[in-house]
Amino acid sequence: MTTGEETAYGPDGDPYALALLPGRAPVYLRLADGRRLRMPVHRWFASPTAADRTVLECCAGPVLDVGCGPGRLCRELLNRGVFALGVDIAPRAVALTTALGGLALCRSVFDRLPAESGWQTVLLIDGNIGIGGDPRGLLRRCAGLVSSTGRLVVEVDRRDVEEFCTARIEDVHGNSGPPFPWARLGRRALHGVAEDLDLDVTAQWTSGHRCFAALTHRAPAGTTGAAPRRER
């Protein structure tokens, strides 16, 4: 029962940590204006979907999966013979990833990470473009992690949105964890941020209800880059 006071949780007792237990009830992202967005927990634990496979097919190793959760993508890449490492700030997420055969570090993307500037692919999937509430800062950081020939693969909102907000993870009973900054970004806004950071959107596609884009470092002046691949 919600009392209006913030519930105190242990490290494995907050709604997000509980959501990482297979078979748990749904959890939501509660925004400051009252909107509630259901989080796709079922997808985190399932085999890669058709949309996920479109992402996996454009991953060249080594791959860094930012906000990996239980690690479905980095584990599948390893199964395909592509080296992949997940990073997540939740100890339970990292434990699940490794228990299921993946590789992961309990670390923020803004912490020091292995092989900086050496990753061929950096993934921001399942809404993780919202990490930290600052997509520009997040993409700048990820661009510093990827090699000069690598790419960022980003899932964006299917709506034309650019939203910066405060959110909480909430369970079905209305119990919520602490507030944190979050963001949502659609394709048009992503193009604007990429332009400011000297990144090129080299591909974008839709699979089902999910939308993705690939970004690379901008080619030096005087060179000819490939035109972005756009959906029909």
Question: How far is it, in rounded angstroms, from Cα 71 to Cα 97?
Answer: 5
**Cα 47 to the chain's mean position, in Å?**
17
Provide the pLDDT for residue 11: 45
3-state secondary structure 99-136: HCCCCEEECCCCCCCCCCCCEEEEEECCCHHHHHHCHH
Provide the pLDDT for residue 216: 98
Provide the pLDDT for residue 14: 56
What stretches of the chain show up as alpha helix (H) in DSSP?
15-19, 41-45, 50-56, 72-79, 91-99, 135-145, 187-196
Task: State the pairing for strand pair 63-66/36-38.
Answer: unpaired
What six digits make up the tokens of 87? 């990073």
Closest CA to 126 of 62, 198, 41, 20: 41
Task: Give the CA distances from residue 50 to residues 17, 46, 55, 84, 207, in Å, rounded to whole numbers and listed in that order.
Answer: 27, 12, 9, 20, 7
Query: pLDDT tens digits, the chain, 232 residues: what are they?
Result: 222 233 334 444 556 666 776 666 788 999 989 999 988 888 888 899 999 999 999 999 999 999 999 999 999 999 999 999 999 998 989 999 999 999 999 999 999 999 999 999 999 999 999 999 999 999 999 999 999 999 999 999 999 999 999 999 888 888 888 888 999 999 999 999 999 999 999 999 999 999 999 999 998 766 554 444 544 3
Q: Is residue 187 within 8 Å of 213, Cβ to Cβ?
A: yes
Provide the pLDDT for residue 18: 65
Quote the DSSP letter at residue 70: T
Q: 10 Å Cβ neighbour count for 28?
A: 21
Task: Give the CA distances from residue 37 to residues 43, 117, 184, in Å, rounded to whole numbers and listed in that order.
Answer: 15, 34, 12
CATH superfamily name and code, 27-217: Vaccinia Virus protein VP39 (3.40.50.150)
For the chain, which residues make up each domain, given as ranges? Answer: 27-217
